[in-house]
Structures are given as structure tokens and as C-alpha cells.
């Protein structure tokens, strides 16, 4: 249980950093630094989704005794099968993981622009799910 709580707290902290970066990106006062804030949002998104799926994996193991496969998509699928998340949440998380994979291979500015527009929705979903799975 301690490992689950520790991963929960780490994931919560990473999501808070993502939220802060999203707010800075959307602040009109920061328009001059848009590219830097966009890149920060993308980077924080990457480590936030990584922490989120790893939390979900530990949650499945400790709370549902499901020894899920190691891949992020299989963890999401197992969470759906275990009725931890809805089908809609599952689909959005799979899309989120695809976007995360796209950001990590090569830098492509038009792709970064497209993904950064979807990140607030991903953030909202991860925050909602994390709150609902609080191990405390």
C-alpha cells in the first residue's frame, strides 16, 4: 500500500506542474514566450502520463490483484475491464498515450501544436481519475 500511496503522491505532483504550465501557456501576458511554454507543457505532459499509467498499474495490482502486462495501453485496457475507468475514459487515455509516444520520437513543431491543444483535456481526465482512485 505504501508503494501505491507514494506513486499517487508523485502523480499528483506531476499533474500540478502540468496544470501550472498550461495556465502559463494560456496567459496572454506570456505570448512572447509561447514556444517555450508550449514545449514545457509537452514535457510535463510526457512525465505526467508516464506517472499516471504507472500509478494505474500499481493500483490494479494492489487493489484488484490484477497483474497487468507492462505496456501502458494494456494497463488502460485492464483498468477498463476491471471497471475502474469507463470506455470513454479508456479511449481518451489510449489517445493520450499515442500522443505521448508521438512527442518523444522527434521534434515536430506542427505536431507539438496539435498535441498541446489536446493536453488540457488529458490533464482534466487524469486529474479526475486520480482523485477517484485516491488510496488514502
The confidence score (pLDDT) of residue 72 equals 96
Average pLDDT, the chain: 94
Is the pLDDT at 115 greater than 80? The verdict is yes
Q: Centre a 10 Å sphere on the Cβ of residue 52 and count the other Cβ atoms it contains.
A: 29
- Work out the average pLDDT over 6-32: 96
Is it the case that residue 68 has pLDDT exceeding 90? no
Predicted TM-score of the model (pTM): 0.94
pLDDT band at residue 107 using 50, 70 and 90 as cut-offs: confident
What mean pLDDT do residues 89-97 have?
A: 98
pLDDT of residue 34 exceeding 80, the answer is: yes
Calculate the alpha carbon distances from 32 to 3, 26, 94 in Å: 42, 12, 33
Residue at grid coordinates 494492489: 62
pLDDT given at position 104: 78
> Confidence band (pLDDT; 50, 70, 90) for 109?
confident
Helix (H, G, I), strand (E, B) or coil at 65: coil
Supply angle C-alpha 70, 21, 134, rounded to 5: 50
Give 10: exposed, middle or buried? Use CB within 10 Å, 0-12, 13-18, 19+. middle
Does domain 2-132 fall into CATH 1.10.3720.10? no
Amino acid at each position: 500500500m505504501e508503494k501505491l500511496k507514494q506513486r499517487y503522491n508523485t502523480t499528483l505532483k506531476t499533474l500540478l506542474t502540468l496544470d501550472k504550465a498550461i495556465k502559463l501557456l494560456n496567459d496572454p501576458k506570456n505570448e512572447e514566450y509561447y514556444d517555450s511554454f508550449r514545449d514545457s507543457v509537452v514535457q510535463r505532459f510526457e512525465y505526467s502520463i508516464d506517472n499516471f499509467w504507472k500509478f494505474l498499474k500499481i493500483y490494479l495490482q494492489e487493489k484488484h490483484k490484477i497483474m497487468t502486462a507492462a505496456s501502458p495501453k494494456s494497463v488502460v485496457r485492464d483498468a477498463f475491464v476491471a471497471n475502474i475507468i469507463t470506455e470513454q475514459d479508456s479511449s481518451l487515455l489510449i489517445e493520450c498515450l499515442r500522443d505521448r509516444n508521438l512527442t518523444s520520437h522527434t521534434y515536430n513543431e506542427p505536431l507539438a501544436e496539435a498535441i498541446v491543444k489536446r493536453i488540457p483535456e488529458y490533464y482534466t481526465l487524469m486529474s479526475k481519475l486520480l482523485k477517484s482512485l485516491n488510496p488514502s
